[in-house]
Chains A and B, each alone.
Chain A
Amino acid sequence: QVQLQESGPGLVRPSETLSLTCTVSGGSVSSYFWSWIRLPPGKGLEWIGHIYYTGITNNNPSLQSRVTLSLDTSKNQFSLKLTSVTAADTAIYYCARRGSAYYALPSWGQGTLVTVSS
């Protein structure tokens, strides 16, 4: 069964870049869609974007210009970069994998809290 684990700094200063990595075990990033979702405090889930194993990406238009997704098949990882962060980007960030033959997210990492503060 595939397992995902997020890693990265828990504190980012305003205007800087948030960088997170998701390490995949029990499966290969060389297939499927790999997603990022976040949960701001007191709010609901927000889909950030996903990357296909071919490198094709789709991002949430509300974040589009600030988001970069990438894939590293040699490390079996995928990554999120979010530039020019503000306090509104404080959230629990989850990585997830889409189902192989259906449109939903059956596999999630445990999530990592990122706080934007000076």
Chain B
Amino acid sequence: EIVLTQSPDTLSLSPGERATLSCRASHSVRSTFLAWYQHKPGQPPRLLIYATSTRATGIPDRFSGSGSGTDFALTISRLEPEDFAVYYCQQYGASPPYTFGPGTKLEIK
């Protein structure tokens, strides 16, 4: 099983600032198989990025993904008030389980 760890656990920033969230895998993950989701209370998770760096339909270009191998990142270039949420990475590797990271909570400073 591929274990994903995310850092930091909580990130406190102000609107307008840049956010960088990290996702590290216990084994190498093909770039095709790494995705990022945004989750707000009372809503289902929302797909932001798939295949490491491809934005899903309707996702603003302030969201970008990068990385390879075991180290991946989600960057939000300029935070908007609606961006404060929990962010999860997920790997859809060669075999199940298709694990999620524990999440990073992005909160308003």
Chain A residues engaging chain B, CB cutoff 8 angstroms: 37, 43-47, 49-50, 58-62, 94, 96, 98-99, 102-106, 108-111
Q: Mostly helix, strand, loop or mixed at chain A's interface?
A: loop
Question: CA A108 – CA B38 in complex, angstroms?
Answer: 12
- Give the interface size class of chain B: 20 to 34
Given known A-B contacts A102-B54, A103-B92, A104-B35, A111 and B97 have beta carbons under 8 A apart: no
Contact A59 B96 (CB under 8 A): yes
Contact across chains for A111 and B44 when beta carbons are under 8 A apart: yes
B100 touches A104 (CB 8 A): no
Q: Is the CB of A45 within 8 A of B96?
A: no
* B4 CB, nearest partner CB in chain A, Å: 10
Contacts of A108 on B, CB cut-off 8 Å? Answer: 44-46
Q: Write 18 A-B pairs (CB below 8 A) sorted by A numbering.
A: A37-B45, A44-B100, A44-B102, A44-B103, A45-B39, A45-B45, A45-B100, A50-B96, A50-B98, A62-B97, A96-B44, A102-B50, A102-B54, A103-B50, A105-B47, A106-B50, A106-B57, A108-B45
Q: Given the complex, which residues of A lie within 8 Å of B44, measured CB to CB?
A: 94, 96, 108-111
B31 to chain A, nearest CB (A): 10
Q: A44-B100, A44-B101, A61-B1 are in contact. Are A106 and B47 (CB under 8 A)?
A: yes
Q: B32 to chain A: which residues have CB within 8 Å?
A: 102-103
